Chain A
Amino acid sequence: MLTEKRNWGWHVLLILIVMAIMLPVLFMISNSFKTLQESYHAILQLIPAKPTFSNYLTLNKQINLLRMVSNTFLMAMIVTLGKVATGLLAAYAFQNFHFKGKRLVYFIFVATIFVPFTTVMIPNYLVIAKMNLLNNVIGVALPQMADATGIMLFIKAMGKIPASLTESAKVDGIPNRKIFMNLIIPLLKPSIISVGAIFFINSWNEYVWPTLVLKDKSSFTLPLALQNYISSEGGTNFPLAMALAVIMIVPPLLIYMIFQRYILNSISTSGLK
């Protein structure tokens, strides 16, 4: 009685949850290959009777898909690289130097996680507008290139590198810049990959701030384009919208399939102090 037994009842519940989570996604993929008519009449048929690419072709005619994909990719890439670079530098400063007011600076950094975006969106909008960066993905990316969550995750990862390693390098007279580039960065590779992957996925999906900055359709990212296909009054052409959504979910899914273990590890540690 002390040892664990398998309990099928609980597994049934958990499998139901998996289905509730996954079935909408599977139906979305399936419907994106159905015609509008088929999607109405064979709504619960998971495998389309006559799979068709027509939705994807229609999409490509209606909007400049390639341009939107590259807009989104460019924005997510800039944000990711920016966050990783600034995060690594800041984490190294917090982890390896002692300076006056370090605790306070760290506290302020972490506190920025709790700032609601509505509190900063008006001034940021005004600044980006002044810089003539509206309708430009750089305007979306710029305010987001520093991120306290990333700094915290990198500090945690650096904390696992034995202090004696950097200390012995310092004793050998190696300058900080080289310790950082040649020692810390290579050792942090797994955590850079996972944190970078998380940043990229989040940025790829980002919606709120881009809606403020990107008004011109040619500058749209994919989430904004998808929103245009959803009508609040009903009458949405769902197979069409779903085709666009499928295009949107492929890159994050691919990244997850490759780096799943790294990503889940990073997320797990983010909760533990």
Chain B
Amino acid sequence: MANTGFSIELAKMSKSYNQKNNVIDKMDLSIVPGEFLVLLGPSGCGKSTTLRLIAGLEAPTGGKVLINGKDASKMNAIQRSIAMVFQDYALYPNMTVYQNLEYALRVHKVPKQVRQQRLTAILASLNLSNYKDRYPSQLSGGQKQRVALGRGMAKKSQIFLLDEPLSNIDVQLREKARDEIQKLHEQNGQTIIYVTHDQQEAMALGDRIAVMNNGKIQMIDTPENLYHNPTNLFVAQFVGTPQINVFKANYFNHQLLDESGAVIANLTAYQDDGLQEDTDYLVGIRPENVQLTTDATKGDFQVEIESIVDYGRYKQLTLKVFDRLEIKAVVSDWQRHGNQAVYAKLTSKAILLFDARTHERIQPSRKLEPVLE
């Protein structure tokens, strides 16, 4: 039976453990039925707490959680229709794989035949049929993770919450497990909230990604927009590897100047209205948008190559600028040219500007076309 999933809405939801500072601070979030939303953020940012509040494992100290349009505070586990996969899987150690999947159904008196039918199919789809009589302690990390997933699937809930489900399994297995989760979403159409601190995982999975920090959602958007059009410095720095280059520069006469007065970049017309003359801004430029050349044109500046790391598919260069700044560049190919001077050019369209104090993004006046390399 395919379902469409429940909508979830958080209305100024807050959580505090000590009545002083909020772990979750007046969070607003609205998730449509059947959406795959990823909560992304560094550890301790409140993403797992958000999940626990939605699950009802903890009660918010302010605001509301609405599930399927209704206030969830009075709902029990069944009415919320939530299944959850925990980071450490939380399998019942004293039950076999089959019993783990069956337990909730048995408690809620689902007929034995229905149980058997449903579980056999789930076990087969997760390649667990041969392990159904094993205990969790006899399984590998990847198998445990699949059992946890299967236990969530068995309930046929409208909402599926996943709390860092892949962080405890080997890197090699992760991609496969990711595909499994995506397949599960396509087949069942549940609303999924997926918590992770791994931005690549987030980019690969989410319809939308909500980036969290300090108990607040910093930005919620598609992976593409997060990367190219971040709303603040935190999002710009958290998303993308290697990390975005950030340095201070002075805006003067359509140009960005370094402390020493050297020109770093010329800004195109639409980029610089709204900027104050002779004011410091934070400049963000992703490493792949730093272009290297041996013949300089206007606005280019000389760099010194400190190191080159060859990742095969691309090379990552660490550059020293004005003897002071260190910036990174990613290029597909780079040959050392003896003692020749090397110049860097910042693709002006790809420059992101942030307020030096608030770290908020200063949006260009015209919608920027995403620059793809």
Contacts and interface: CB of A to CB of B under 8 A. Distances in A.
Interface residues of B, number: 8
Interface in B98-141: none
A35 B56 CA distance: 61
Interface of A is mostly: loop
A3 B57 contact: yes
Interface string A1-19: 1110000000000000000
Nearest to A1: B76
B63 to A, nearest CB: 16
Contacts, number: 13
Interface of B is mostly: loop
B58 interface: yes
Contacts of A2: 55-57, 76-77
B88 to A, nearest CB: 19
Nearest to B58: A3
Interface string B42-82: 00000000000001111100000000000000011100000
A22 B75 CA distance: 42
Interface residues of A, number: 3
A2 B76 CA distance: 7
Contacts of B76: 1-2
Nearest to B79: A1
Interface in A33-80: none
B356 to A, nearest CB: 43
Nearest to B59: A3
A239 B184 CA distance: 76
A228 to B, nearest CB: 53
Nearest to B57: A2
Contacts of B56: 1-3
A2 B75 CA distance: 9
Contacts of A1: 56, 75-77
A57 B117 CA distance: 83
Contacts of B57: 2-3
Nearest to B77: A2
Interface in B313-372: none
A1 B57 CA distance: 9
B73 to A, nearest CB: 10
Contacts of A3: 56-59
B74 to A, nearest CB: 8
A3 B61 CA distance: 12
A191 B43 CA distance: 33
A2 B56 CA distance: 6
A26 B216 CA distance: 53
A6 to B, nearest CB: 13
A2 B80 CA distance: 11
Interface string B250-271: 0000000000000000000000
Contacts of B77: 1-2
A1 B73 CA distance: 8
A1 B58 CA distance: 10
A2 B78 CA distance: 11
Contacts of B59: 3
A3 B77 CA distance: 11
A3 to B, nearest CB: 5
B135 to A, nearest CB: 19
A62 to B, nearest CB: 57
A3 B59 CA distance: 7
A81 B57 CA distance: 49
A2 B58 CA distance: 7
| Closest 7 pairs between A and B when the two form their complex, measured CB to CB | A2-B56, A1-B76, A3-B59, A2-B57, A3-B58, A2-B77, A3-B56
Interface of B: 55-59, 75-77
Given A1-B56, A2-B55, 6 more contacts: A1-B77, A2-B76, A2-B77, A3-B56, A3-B57, A3-B59
11 contacts: A1-B56, A1-B75, A1-B76, A2-B55, A2-B57, A2-B76, A2-B77, A3-B56, A3-B57, A3-B58, A3-B59
